[in-house]
């Protein structure tokens, strides 16, 4: 059972059937920190009082359904036991017959309470509770007894309890409302619930709410989103409209996937380092080009063909879109340096259609699909690399028109909207390899570069205070 706490720490929605319910079971469920919706089906009613107390746990729970398949249960909800609980639903499929109650259960404290007309289910003040209902199934005489003695007691400040009595013999349906005179609220109506009160995948969004559903999904790996989107139309809409990714970004939930293209025509694959899985990307529509480049920003992947943005891939819809001239950069370019942060991407340098090196720079906003010009760098360069670090955009290395290798870097301050030259920042990197830009990456806000030496050794260097130190040799 301890494995639940280890392996299911991110579980948000749980629907489970158990043979019985014990205090230890409640403690296990309390240990699931992200649990927001719980539907628990209990085959055998517990023989002891189950207390949902104020101990740590259930802090995220907003929807709770308890269904007992074979009789009543003795339950107590202490004040503020579930501080964020909004909807509570209790279902008892069967009430023991009048002649069975005392014979079978007289020695049990709960049925002594039942015999003397004391409520078996009590709820102290739960400040966050908005809706609560209780459903009892049984013979008419038993239902009359339940109605007469008041099986459920409720704090005056809690909402009205909508009590439904169902005649299991005639399949009739009788409803009453149990409330204290001081309580003020409306009876329970579960949006999207089926005729029998069941919660299925087709109506779960209506039951727990769209915001809560998105909050649950944003904790999952996005490699699971495709399967979730295929369940029904509502799920597909939630996954595809981008709300999940906006919430992930707000809460600092990030998954760094690597996208690779190869072959002719171009083929794409994605790699998830956290799981070690390769994910197939839909085939890119065929396009003719002698120069291919790509840029990832937000939930989009931009592919440049012959210096223009030709195609856009969306991880939301898992599809490609042809782009027109309206999506092009202000200055079409190739061999540029680029980096992205959040929904914005920055490009600088490169060559234009006449193969002249550029000093201009631009910013791309993926939400609006627009390009905006930035101040130009101090020096023109192409075959350079870009990185985003410490809230600044860096353009490193590159070549001049005379193919002179540049060792200086330029730093763009987003707040000041100005460039600063940093001398010798890329000195020693790939000095004998003029074909490719510097191979750099930012890890934990530190800049790393890989250098291919003449003897085919790969050396990783870490940049500290604008100087390099050897991190490792492969």
> How far apart (Å, rounded) are the C-alpha atoms in residues 86 and 268?
45
* Per-residue tokens: 211: 């915001």
Q: Where are the alpha helices (DSSP H) in 14-150?
A: 23-30, 98-105, 109-115, 140-149
Select from 45, 151, 26 the least CA-distant residue to 108: 45
CB 434 within 8 A of CB 405: yes
Q: How far apart are CA 309 and CA 330, in angstroms?
A: 11
For residue 116, which of 124, 126, 108 has the smallest C-alpha distance? 108
Query: What is the β-pairing status of strands 13-18 and 37-42?
Result: parallel
- From first to last of its 474 residues, what are the pLDDT tens digits of the chain? 444 555 677 888 999 999 888 888 888 888 888 899 999 999 887 877 788 887 768 888 999 999 988 777 778 888 878 888 889 998 888 765 444 443 434 444 544 444 444 456 777 878 788 888 888 776 665 555 555 445 566 777 777 777 777 765 544 444 444 443 333 333 333 334 444 444 444 556 665 667 777 777 777 888 888 778 877 777 788 788 888 888 888 888 888 889 998 887 788 999 988 888 898 899 888 877 778 889 999 889 999 888 777 889 998 888 899 887 767 889 999 999 999 998 999 999 999 989 999 999 999 999 888 999 999 999 999 999 999 998 999 999 999 988 888 989 999 999 999 999 999 887 766 665 556 788 888 888 888 887 766 555 555 555 656 667 777 776
Under DSSP, is residue 321 helix (H, G, I), strand (E, B) or coil?
strand
Q: How far apart are CA 283 and CA 265, in angstroms?
A: 9
Q: Return the bridge partners of 440, or none.
A: 449
pLDDT of residue 31: 85
DSSP sequence for 163-229: EEEEETTTTEEEEEEE--TT--------TT--TTS---TTTHHHHH-HHHHHHHHTTS-GGGHHHHH
Structural domains in the chain, CATH included, are: 2-186 (no CATH), 258-473 (2.120.10.80)
Alpha carbons 401 and 420: distance in angstroms, whole number = 21
Q: Is 452 helix (H, G, I), strand (E, B) or coil?
A: strand
Integer Cα distance of 353 and 397 in angstroms: 21
First to last CA, the chain: 43
Report which secondary-structure segment, H or E, holds 435.
Answer: none
Question: What's the CA angle centered on 80, arms 91 and 62, to 5 degrees?
Answer: 55
DSSP H or E stretch at residue 5: helix 2-7
Residue in 199, 130, 133 with CA at minimum distance from that of residue 165:
133
Q: Which residue has the tokens 């210096």?
A: 307
Q: Which residues, in sequence order, are bridge partners of residue 164? A: 135, 175
- As a whole number of angstroms, the distance between CA 198 and CA 12 comes to 19
Measure the CA–CA gap between 456 and 458, rounded to whole angstroms.
Answer: 6
Reduced to 3 DSSP states, what percent helix, strand and coil does the chain have, rounded to the nearest 5? 15, 35, 45
DSSP result, 290-317:
S-EEEEEETTEEEEEETTEEEEEEETTT
Please tell me the predicted confidence (pLDDT) of residue 219.
Answer: 77
| pLDDT value, residue 144 | 56
Strand partners, 18: 42
CA–CA separation, 157 vs 70, rounded Å? 31
Q: Are 395 and 384 in contact (CB under 8 A)?
A: yes
């Amino acid at each position: 059972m301890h494995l639940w706490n280890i392996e299911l720490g991110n579980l948000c929605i749980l629907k489970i059937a158990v043979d019985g319910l014990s205090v230890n079971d409640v403690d296990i469920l309390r240990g699931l920190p992200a649990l927001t919706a719980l539907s628990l089906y209990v085959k055998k009613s517990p023989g002891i009082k189950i207390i949902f107390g104020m101990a740590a746990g259930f802090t995220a729970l907003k929807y709770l359904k308890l269904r007992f398949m074979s009789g009543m249960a003795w339950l107590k909800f202490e004040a503020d036991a579930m501080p964020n609980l909004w909807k509570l639903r209790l279902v008892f499929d069967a009430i023991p017959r009048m002649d069975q109650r005392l014979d079978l259960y007289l020695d049990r404290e709960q049925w002594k309470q039942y015999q003397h007309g004391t409520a078996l289910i009590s709820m102290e003040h739960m400040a966050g509770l908005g809706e609560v209902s209780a459903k009892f199934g049984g013979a008419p005489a038993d239902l009359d007894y339940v109605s007469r003695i008041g099986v459920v007691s409720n704090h005056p400040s809690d909402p009205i309890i909508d009590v439904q009595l169902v005649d299991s013999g005639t399949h009739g349906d009788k409803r009453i409302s149990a409330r204290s005179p001081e309580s003020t609220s409306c009876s329970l109506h579960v949006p999207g619930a089926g005729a029998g009160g069941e919660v299925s995948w087709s109506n779960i969004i209506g039951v727990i709410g769209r915001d809560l559903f998105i909050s649950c999904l944003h904790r999952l790996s996005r490699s699971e989103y495709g399967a979730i989107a295929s369940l029904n139309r509502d799920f597909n809409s939630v996954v595809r409209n981008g709300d999940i990714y906006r919430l992930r970004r707000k809460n600092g939930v990030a998954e760094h996937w690597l996208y690779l293209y190869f072959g002719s025509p171009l083929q794409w694959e994605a790699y998830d380092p956290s799981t070690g899985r390769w994910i197939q990307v839909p085939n890119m529509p065929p396009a003719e080009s002698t120069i291919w480049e790509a840029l990832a920003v937000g939930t989009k992947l931009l592919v440049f063909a012959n210096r223009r943005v030709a195609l856009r891939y969306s991880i939301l819809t898992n599809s490609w879109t042809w782009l027109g001239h309206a999506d092009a950069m202000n200055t079409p370019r190739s061999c540029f340096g680029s980096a992205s942060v959040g929904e914005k991407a920055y490009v600088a340098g490169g060559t234009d259609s006449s193969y002249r090196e550029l000093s201009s720079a631009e910013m791309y906003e993926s939400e609006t699909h627009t390009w905006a010009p930035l101040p130009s760098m101090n020096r023109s360069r192409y075959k350079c690399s870009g990185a985003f670090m410490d809230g600044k955009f860096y353009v490193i290395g590159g070549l001049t028109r005379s193919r002179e290798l540049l060792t200086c870097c330029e730093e763009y301050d987003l707040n000041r909207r100005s460039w600063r030259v940093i001398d010798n920042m890329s000195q020693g990197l790939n000095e004998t390899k003029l074909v490719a830009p510097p191979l750099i990456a930012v890890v934990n806000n530190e800049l790393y570069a890989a250098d291919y030496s003449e003897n085919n050794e790969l050396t990783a260097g870490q940049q500290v205070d604008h100087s390099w130190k050897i991190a490792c040799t492969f």
